């Protein structure tokens, strides 16, 4: 009964805030502006205590991370004065977006943790409207923490989910029958990704009949778990057969907690051996966890590329994308979670922050001028079908900050708009959390080309492709080379080395994926025959592209183009080693 009333309360809360979108937004803005009135940042714009929308919009500029970077660096260096927020900065959240090759640092305040927790608390009440019995079992949810560092001024810097899993709100969460995980906290909180994954998988196998949903934050994470099972099922089955823990698991708290969970179970070990030893892994998720009702993963945005593989392993289980969030702010949730991935929309909750929308048109981008801030559209005023870039103002003190996400309005829940996530601006390649843009790829190619100079060779054209057919996926770069002296060509070894130089040039999120998380495979260069890129142009023109305006696409995914490129490949090269990565920032 108590649980039912919690669910009803959560649903009622959603109804209330979505019926009062505009008043809630006005209230949120007034709260943020009065709370932060005495901050250095807001004082610069001479709001003089005003907390109304008109003054705010006319005086405060729309900004990017680069605009705020000098002030953020002061906080990182130890300046404790109220720069963005009147509340002390509790830590930095490291976004997967990068600036000059390093993760962006987002200052946050401790009250934001409660706001994040509030959004999490709404997810299962929404799901339980569509799927019954979710309080009668467990979730096999692969959750991981990542390395954290300290800034020169002593503040912790870590990803938002690491911060959340380490928080009291998560570690000491009260029992909630809708949110019982098979993974013990000890496994989730172990920084060694092998030990963490191994233990979480082992627990998932032991409790396989109780598992009602299987997931990870993003689709790529769940596929990594399946790949892990492919590589480690023998040892896992051995542990289950004998009731002893793999000696590679050395974390004392994991060992302690597994001594209560792991018992010899030869029947289960035989079952796992039977299912995993064959070549056929189709529907493996429902074979091992037969009561799974859905996959709890995000498959919108860059993750859409994983849908066919997830369908293969799960026999097409539903993939509700429950929430839309970022390090800067948690935005909202999907109120119709059982819809097809292509129809997923997120309702931005008006109590999470103050949201504005910059109309977006790919063919006619708006240039923002600092002197006359553009009139942005408010959450309650966006129009059905239109595209917008999301601009946020948060309790932590970000004001009119461009997140970089492009959204399209697909409908309304009460007075609150629902948005389709269209894409992140300027992302060319993405396998996991990495987001590589055109400029980074160009720079990486320039650096790698240095190795070709002594062979009198240059890269005349290139394009790229995120290959997610293998797990983990990897970047593929197609190169057309110009060799001035065909008797002195770059050797295969040199071209392999070019792959590594490219990897070294890519941002720290990419390199962390390669080194610490194992979520990205070695970069591949495919050298194509001379004239291939001209053929590519001919193909585009035959399909209606203008010859004057034709530009080589720097990333491709369209099958006929891929087939054309692959049929012209003359040699293939892979990065021979992992690039350099440590949790420490380069600057």
Residues that bind ligand AMP (CB under 6 A): 95-97, 160, 298, 300-301, 321, 324-327, 403, 405, 421, 424
Cα–Cα distance for residue pair 509/437, rounded to 1 Å = 12
Measuring CA to CA, which residue among 299, 303, 295, 131 is closest to residue 226?
A: 295
SS3 label, residue 95: strand
Residue with tokens 């859905």: 294
Whether the Cβ atoms of residue 415 and residue 389 lie closer than 8 Å to each other: no
Per the CB < 8 A criterion, the answer to whether 417 and 382 are in contact is yes
Q: From the CB of 228, what's the least distance to ligand AMP, in Å?
A: 23
Q: Which is nearer to ligand AMP, 324 or 462 (CB)?
A: 324
**Six token digits for residue 55:** 């003054």
Helix, strand, or coil (residue 421): strand
User: 526: closest CA among 481, 485, 471?
Assistant: 481
Concatenating the DSSP letter of every residue in 175-205 gives P-GGG-BSS-HHHHT-S-HHHHHHHHHHHHH
- Give min distance, CB of 155 to ligand AMP, in A: 18
Whether the CA torsion 51, 55, 57, 60 is positive or negative: it is: negative
Buried b (16+ CB within 10 A) or exposed e, 222-258: bbbbbebbeebbeebbebbbeeebbeebebeebeebb
Spell out where 309-383 has E strands: 323-325, 330-333, 346-348, 354-359, 377-378
| Rounded-to-integer distance, Cα 58 and Cα 372, Å | 8
> How far is Cα 41 from Cα 45, in angstroms, rounded to an integer?
7
The answer to whether 9 and 3 have CB atoms below 8 angstroms apart is no
State the pairing for strand pair 102-108/156-158. Answer: unpaired
Paired tokens of 18: 């979505």
Report in angstroms how near the CB of residue 406 gets to ligand AMP at its nearest. Answer: 9
User: Which of 187, 90, 128 has the alpha carbon at shortest distance from 7?
Assistant: 128
Contact of 494 with 517, CB cutoff 8 Å: no
Of residues 67, 66, 28, 26, the one with CA closest to residue 396: 28
Residue 310 pairs with which residues in a beta bridge? none
3-state DSSP assignment of residue 14? helix
Contact 199, 258 (CB under 8 A): yes
Distance of CA 62 to the CA centre of its chain: 24
Backbone dihedral angles phi then psi of residue 125, each to the nearest 5 degrees: -55, -40
CA-to-CA separations, 133 to 12, 173, 291, in angstroms, rounded: 20, 21, 11
Question: Tokens 């529907």 sit at which residue?
Answer: 283
Pair of tokens at residue 83: 């720069």
Distance between CA atoms of residues 125 and 365, nearest Å: 40
CA 197 from centroid of its chain's CA atoms: 18
């Amino acid at each position: 009964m108590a649980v039912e009333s919690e669910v009803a309360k959560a649903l009622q809360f959603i109804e209330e805030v979505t019926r009062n979108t505009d008043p809630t937004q006005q209230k949120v803005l007034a709260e943020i502006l009065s709370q932060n009135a005495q901050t250095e940042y807001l004082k610069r714009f001479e709001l003089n205590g005003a907390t109304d929308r008109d003054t705010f919009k006319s005086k405060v500029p729309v900004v990017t991370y680069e605009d705020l970077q000098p002030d953020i660096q002061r906080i990182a260096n130890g300046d404790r004065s109220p720069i963005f927020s009147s509340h002390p900065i509790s830590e930095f959240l490291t976004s997967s977006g990068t600036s000059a090759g390093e993760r962006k640092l987002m200052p946050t305040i401790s009250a934001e943790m409660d706001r994040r927790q509030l959004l999490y608390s709404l997810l299962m009440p929404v799901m339980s409207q569509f799927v019954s019995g979710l309080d009668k079992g467990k979730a096999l949810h692969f959750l991981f923490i990542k390395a954290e560092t300290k800034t020169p001024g002593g503040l912790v810097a870590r990803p938002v989910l690491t911060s959340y899993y380490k928080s009291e709100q998560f570690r000491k969460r009260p029992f909630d029958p809708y949110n019982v995980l098979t993974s013990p906290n000890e496994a989730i909180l172990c920084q060694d990704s092998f030990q963490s994954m191994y233990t979480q998988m082992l627990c998932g196998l032991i409790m396989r009949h109780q598992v009602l949903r299987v997931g990870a934050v993003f689709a790529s994470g769940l596929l990594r778990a399946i790949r892990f099972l492919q590589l480690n099922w023998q040892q896992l089955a051995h542990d289950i057969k004998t009731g002893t823990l793999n000696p590679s698991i050395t974390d004392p708290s994991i060992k302690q907690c597994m001594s209560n969970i792991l018992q010899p179970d030869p029947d289960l070990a035989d079952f796992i051996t039977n299912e995993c030893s064959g070549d056929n892994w189709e529907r493996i998720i429902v074979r091992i966890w037969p009561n799974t009702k859905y996959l709890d993963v995000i498959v919108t945005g860059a993750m859409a590329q994983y849908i066919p593989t997830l369908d293969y392993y799960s026999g097409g289980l539903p993939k509700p994308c429950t929430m839309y969030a970022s390090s800067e702010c948690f935005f909202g949730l999907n109120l119709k979670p059982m819809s097809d991935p292509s129809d997923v929309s997120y309702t931005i909750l008006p109590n999470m922050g103050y949201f504005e929308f910059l109309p977006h048109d790919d063919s006619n981008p708006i240039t923002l001028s600092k002197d006359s801030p553009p009139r942005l559209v408010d959450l309650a005023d966006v129009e059905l079908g239109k595209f917008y870039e999301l601009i946020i103002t948060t309790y932590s003190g970000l004001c009119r900050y461009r997140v970089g996400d492009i959204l399209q309005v697909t409908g309304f829940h009460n007075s609150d708009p629902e948005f389709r996530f269209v894409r992140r601006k300027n992302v060319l390649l993405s396998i996991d959390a990495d987001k590589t843009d055109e400029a980074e790829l160009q720079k990486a190619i320039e650096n790698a080309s240095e190795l070709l100079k002594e062979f009198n060779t240059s890269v005349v054209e290139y394009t790229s492709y995120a290959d997610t057919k293998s797990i983990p996926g990897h970047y593929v770069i197609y190169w057309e080379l110009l060799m001035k002296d065909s008797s002195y060509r770059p050797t295969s070894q040199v071209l392999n080395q070019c792959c590594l130089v490219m990897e070294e040039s890519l941002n720290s999120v990419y390199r962390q994926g390669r080194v610490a998380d194992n979520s990205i495979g070695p970069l591949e260069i495919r050298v194509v025959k001379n004239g291939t890129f001209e053929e590519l142009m001919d193909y585009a023109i035959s399909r209606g592209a203008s010859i004057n305006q034709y530009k080589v696409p720097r990333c491709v995914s369209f099958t006929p183009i891929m087939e054309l490129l692959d049929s012209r490949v003359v040699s293939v090269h892979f990065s021979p080693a992992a690039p350099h990565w440590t949790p420490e920032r380069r600057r």
